[in-house]
Structure 1
Amino acid sequence: MKLLDRYIIRKYLSTFVVMLGMFIPISVLVDLSQKIDKFKQYELTQSEILSHYYDFVWVFGYMLFPIFLFLSVIWFTSKLASNTEVIAILSSGVSFYRYLRPFVIAATFIALLAFGASMFWVPNASERYNDFEYTYINKNQKVRLTENIYKQLSENDFVYMSNYNANRKIGYNFTWEHFEGDELQYKIKAQNIRWVEKDSLHRLTKYFQRSILNDEEFIRNESRLDTLFNFDLDELVPVTYKAQTLNFFELNDYIKVERENGSPLINHHLLVRHKRWAIPISAFILTLIAVAVASFKKRGGMGVNLAMGIILAFLYIFFDKIFEVMVEKSNFTPWIAAWTPNTLFAILSIYLLRYAKR
């Protein structure tokens, strides 16, 4: 690695760290100002609040790192250009693509860190962060699909509830059907099913069972029946952010099970998995765009470059959120939604690099 490479990589990484160091504390202070009344209301301890903001830093730092990276590269590259360092480098016989090499090396380092964080560290922080948010801050916000719940427990067993109250752990209009091949063996219905914590059992109200054995039909009615099923009611209705809290291996297993169960959230889970690959890759694309935009002096100086950078950053966020909403609200293909912003900006980076090279 030559002196030029070390110089640019050091500038790249140090500016990125400084950018994170500037904006994350500001984000923490803004968030704290919005939540401080809730902290007082629930009399949260200092350690609980500090633990929450430790998770906050991981979650939001990862979420916004492509933008911080983009702006930091524009910032320090604009300074190189304003000091005529870029012109000096290129006029010394270094080709434009050779000049890009240290930027790509630094982006690779950041992308690998982001990839490792997204697959293993951020999910743990996300679980604690979301649990805290929906326990204390957004307590009444709906985080489960609680209506018309249909689950396939196994190849032969199917469960349905018309509604589920997570706070009371009670499901309404409960139905369990068991098949052998294409034939229904028994069907259980109840007005409601409740988990009784004290006795560690399921309680069914207005229980009805219809069974077929050797071509004979058997009917059983009970006003109340206490029993135990091999499922947790909360697992039938997982929180919508469940996929975000799972590491790489857990997420793959979870998606497999959810797909077999016919989960209505399967597209959301697939989007989460694709974005764990797409976000680290964005480090390369945004770095190339930033270098192409900021490597040469413009009228208006560094301010013009930063303005262009902010506009492009908001466009990236806009496209990312638009496609995310399309997946949530329709049957839009998750991998297309995850990779379209990167694809569009990759095309833009190729155009800008060709223009900058000239």
Structure 2
Amino acid sequence: MKINDVFSLKVRVLDRYILGELKSPFFFGLVAFTTILVAGGLLFQMADLIIQKGVSVGIVIRLFVYYMPRLVVFTIPMSCLLASLLGFGKLSANSEIVALKSAGLSFQRIVRPVTVAAFFISIVAFIINESVVPLSERAAANVMKYEVLRESAPLFTQKIFIKEEGDGVVKRVIYIDRMDNDTKDMKDVTVEEFDQGRLARIITSLDGKWEDGSWWLINGAVYEISKKTKEVGLLFKFDRQALRLNLRSEDIENVNREPDEMGIKELLSLIRLKERLGESPGELWMAFHLRLAVPWACLIFAILGAALGSRPQRASSGVGFGFSVIIIFVYYVIMSFSKALGENGSLPPAMAAWVANLVFLAISLLLCSRANRLG
């Protein structure tokens, strides 16, 4: 066996050893941080449902299970940070980092297995956040609505209000008093059309329906408002007339859904719908880009924790845990601030969603560069 082959084999063994040092702190952090979040809020909500509202324990347990995926996705980046911080802190305290550098390994090479593992953890976090969390959030909302609050499943959607805008000016307002959730048949439809901000026409219809991929108004009339006298005059009546509406039947159901209950494709579909209606989907764009950005905090925190943990000063697991909480707190403060800027249009949502990641990535790379020079 060649010397290079022996060296490569030893390095692969080293990679497994480093990952082994991080495995226990990672799962400890996952349990600890999740427990803190549960005890800090969710547990009190569940207890309130049982004691104050008399909800059965079975329903509360189901709610608890449905809320867990969101909490786990939230705590995975924290666990990556804690695992790297404690794992590399232990290696540094035992002078193993110094020994590895003396053997000719750079810090970037030492941290490589952590980077690769964190990359795959980020992908897993993204998949959970994209596939599991929307379903669990939807299930939790349904349990709260139909089992806790004891509302009956609605057969109709009532009081639907749709506003179409263009160049910041209202073009059309559509009001649907009631729509059957199964057949999409409508009752009492009113359409107001505007011309340069002035109400120009009103269309009323007793009925409407979704048929062959189009909206139709049944038994209605069209009225015109005089530009000079403001009087309303009947233009004509109709038995059946097409309603130009950039909405599919399922779009109306999605308009009122929460972003947390939708996957990326559904979010993007709703964003396109809002844009067609002339509305500003700033908050939805922000939710879309955050869905992409947040999972990669796992990778960034893993690198940051490795750089911080490799410092010569030894810290206990309690100090490391507290340090992780502080870093996470600063990260989410920056994210909350940039999110607000993205939602109000001060920053492009794509940029605002990644600000916290970019800040901490820059800090991580700087600390890695310093760690490579030390020892």
Compared CA separation, residues 269 and 47, structure 1 to 2 (3 A): same
Of 210, 215, 218, 2:223 maps to 210
1:310 maps to which residue? 325
CA pair 304-19 structure 1, distance change in 2 beyond 3 A: closer
**Displacement of 1:342:** 0.8
For 1:45, the aligned partner's letter is S
Are 1:286 and 2:298 counterparts? Answer: no
Q: Tell whether 2:40 aligns with 1:23.
A: no
Written as runs of structure 1 = structure 2, the 5 A alignment for 1:79-158 is 79-132=90-143, 150-152=162-164, 158=172
Greater mean alpha carbon deviation, residues 130-139 or residues 344-353:
130-139
Deviations, residues 225-281 of structure 1 (Å, cap 9, x unaligned): xxxx99889938944x622211232222222112212334x1111111111221122
**Taking structure 1 as the reference length, what is the TM-score of the superposition?**
0.72
Whether contact under 8 Å (1:289, 1:352) holds in the other structure is: yes
Alignment correspondent of 1:341: 356
Note the residue ranges of structure 2 that are not aligned, 5 or more in a row: 1-10, 151-158, 166-170, 179-188, 208-219, 226-231, 238-242
Partners of 2:65 and 2:51 in 1: how far apart?
A: 19
| Alignment partner of 2:252 out of 235, 238, 257 | 235
Partner of 2:214 in structure 1? none
Secondary structure of 1:257's aligned partner: helix
Percent pairwise identity: 24
- 8 Å CA contact retained: 2:174, 2:191: yes
Taking a change above 3 Å as real, the CA distance of residues 340 and 108 of structure 1, as seen in their structure-2 partners, is same
Quickly say closer, same or farther: Cα 1:25–1:64, change in 2 above 3 A. closer
Partner residue in 1 for 2:211: none
User: How many aligned positions are there?
Assistant: 319
Specify the alignment match of 1:261 in structure 2.
Answer: 277
Displacement after TM superposition at 1:27 (Å): 2.9
**Distance apart, 1:309 and its partner CA:** 3.4
Aligned mate of 2:367, from 338, 352, 356: 352
- 1:201 alignment counterpart: none
Per-residue CA deviations over 1:49-108 (Å, capped at 9, x if unaligned) read: 122111211012112322232122212221222222222332233221110111111101
Tell whether 2:262 aligns with 1:246: yes
- The 8 Å contact of residues 86 and 296 in structure 1, kept in 2 or not, is answered as no
Q: CA deviation digits over 1:103-153, x for unaligned, max 9?
A: 1111012011011112211111122334556779999xxxxxxx9965349
When residues 299 and 60 of structure 1 are mapped into structure 2, their CA distance, relative to the original with a 3 A threshold, is closer
SS in 1 for 2:371: helix
Give, in angstroms, the shift of residue 14 of structure 1: 3.6
Quick check: 1:38 aligned with 2:55? no
| Cα distance in 2 between the residues matched to 1:246 and 1:299 | 44
Query: 1:36 and 1:134 mapped to 2: Cα distance?
Result: 18
Q: What SS does the corresponding residue of 1:2 show, helix, strand or coil?
A: helix
Question: Structure 1 residue 185: deviation in Å?
Answer: 9.0
> In structure 1, what is the equivalent of residue 58 of structure 2?
47
The equivalent of 1:57 in structure 2 is 68
For 1:169-188, list aligned pairs within 5 A: 175-177=190-192, 186-188=201-203
- How far residue 283 of structure 1 moved from its aligned partner, in angstroms, is 1.6
Answer yes or no: is the 8 Å Cα contact 1:179–1:185 preserved in 2.
Answer: yes
- Cα RMSD over matched residues? 4.5
Q: Which residue of 2 aligns with 1:297?
A: 312
Among candidates 249, 264, 271, match of residue 286 of structure 2:
271
The CA distance in 2 between the partners of 1:269 and 1:122, in whole Å, is: 17
- Worse-matched range after superposition: 281-290 or 33-42: 33-42
TM-score, length of structure 2 as denominator length: 0.69
5+ residue gaps, structure 1, are 140-146, 165-173, 194-206, 222-228
Show the counterpart of 2:13. Answer: 3
Query: Are the aligned partners of 1:42 and 1:136 in contact in 2 as well (CA < 8 Å)?
Result: no
Whether contact under 8 Å (2:289, 2:353) holds in the other structure is: yes
Distance across 1 between alignment mates of 2:117 and 2:191 = 56
CA distance in 2, matches of 1:282, 1:72: 14
What secondary structure does 1:218 align onto?
A: strand
Please tell me whether the aligned partners of residues 327 and 334 of structure 1 are also in contact (alpha carbons under 8 angstroms): yes
Q: Highest CA radius of gyration, 1 or 2?
A: 2
